[in-house]
């Protein structure tokens, strides 16, 4: 995800430009901190109080310059219009949030409104076109058959989550004025790894294989997750 996002930012904005970034559903703040360390002005929005507190603790351990470039707001991603003016950000991230949102359309529209002209919207969603892959590869044939027509699955914590299909989200992004520019697969080769699997000491080959698969057809189409990048029309 980080490499894919870096590629999109580098291809859209001048080198050295300090971007205004909004991370909706920032979790522990890992993505937001990474971008703040890179010199960008970052706002993290998170509704979970425990996650917000964890992000604040992580930020407190950073050098002063980074602390000054990042702010954290406790709030719901559906209320972006309450916190910010339209067009306030060059980059808006919403990773792993839509899958927990029953009605994603208002959230998507709000995210698009936050983008300045030419701004980048980065979404990470559960791939609805590949829901049968995990149960099928695990030998759960009835689960695989049900998944072909399903719109949800269970995440690694056992929670039921929504899935989105590429064609549907492509149409929605066009409808909110941030048409799809690029897309990648995420967890193409590793989505079926068992919980508790110990990663190899040298991740270089694993990451290279995942990165290659995530941008190559037909592999990216069966990824567990999809990374979609839309661009706000000028």
Average pLDDT, the chain: 94
> For residues 3 and 98, what is the distance between their CA atoms, to the nearest angstrom?
21
pLDDT-based confidence at residue 37 (cuts at 50, 70, 90): very high
| 89-95 vs 115-126, strand pairing mode | parallel
Count of domains for the chain: 1
pLDDT-based confidence at residue 174 (cuts at 50, 70, 90): very high
Say what the pLDDT of residue 234 is: 67
Closest CA to 96 of 77, 117, 73: 77
Read out DSSP for 10-75? HHHS-TT---EEEEET-TTSHHHHHHHHTT-EEEEEE--HHHHHHHHHHHHTS-HHHHHHEEEEE-
Residue range 140-156: average pLDDT?
Answer: 89
> For residues 26 and 33, what is the distance between their CA atoms, to the nearest angstrom?
10
For 25, the domain range is 2-231
Bridge partners, residue 184, by sequence = 227
* Proportion of the chain above pLDDT 70, given as a percent: 100
Say what the pLDDT of residue 79 is: 84
The answer to whether residue 191 scores a pLDDT higher than 70 is yes
CB 18 within 8 A of CB 39: yes
pTM of the model: 0.94
For residue 103, what is the domain's CATH number?
3.40.50.150
pLDDT-based confidence at residue 137 (cuts at 50, 70, 90): very high
CB 187 within 8 A of CB 156: no
pLDDT-based confidence at residue 193 (cuts at 50, 70, 90): confident
pLDDT-based confidence at residue 160 (cuts at 50, 70, 90): confident
Say what the pLDDT of residue 195 is: 72
Q: What is the pLDDT of residues 11-27, one digit of tens each?
A: 999 998 999 999 999 99
pLDDT-based confidence at residue 81 (cuts at 50, 70, 90): confident
Closest CA to 22 of 51, 45, 6: 45
């Amino acid at each position: 995800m980080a490499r894919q996002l870096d590629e999109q930012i580098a291809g859209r904005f001048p080198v050295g430009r300090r971007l205004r970034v909004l991370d909706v559903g920032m979790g522990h703040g890992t993505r937001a901190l990474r971008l703040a360390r890179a010199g960008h002005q970052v706002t993290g929005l998170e509704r979970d109080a425990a996650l917000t507190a964890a992000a604040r603790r992580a930020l407190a351990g950073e050098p002063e310059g980074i602390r000054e470039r990042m702010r954290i707001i406790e709030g719901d991603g559906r209320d972006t219009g309450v916190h910010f003016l339209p067009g306030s950000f060059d980059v808006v991230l919403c990773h792993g949030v839509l899958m927990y949102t029953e009605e994603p359309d208002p959230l998507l529209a709000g995210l698009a409104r936050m983008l300045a002209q030419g701004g980048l919207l980065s979404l990470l969603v559960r791939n609805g076109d590949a829901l049968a892959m995990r149960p099928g590869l695990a030998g759960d044939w009835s689960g695989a058959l049900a998944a072909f027509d399903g719109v949800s699955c269970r995440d690694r914590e056992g929670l039921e989550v929504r899935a989105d299909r590429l064609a549907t989200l492509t149409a929605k992004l066009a409808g909110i004025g941030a048409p799809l520019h690029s897309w990648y697969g995420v967890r193409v080769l590793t989505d079926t790894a068992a919980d508790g699997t110990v990663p190899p000491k040298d991740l270089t080959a694993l990451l290279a294989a995942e990165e290659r698969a995530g941008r190559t057809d037909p592999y990216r189409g069966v990824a567990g997750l999809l990374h979609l990048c839309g661009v706000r029309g000028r």
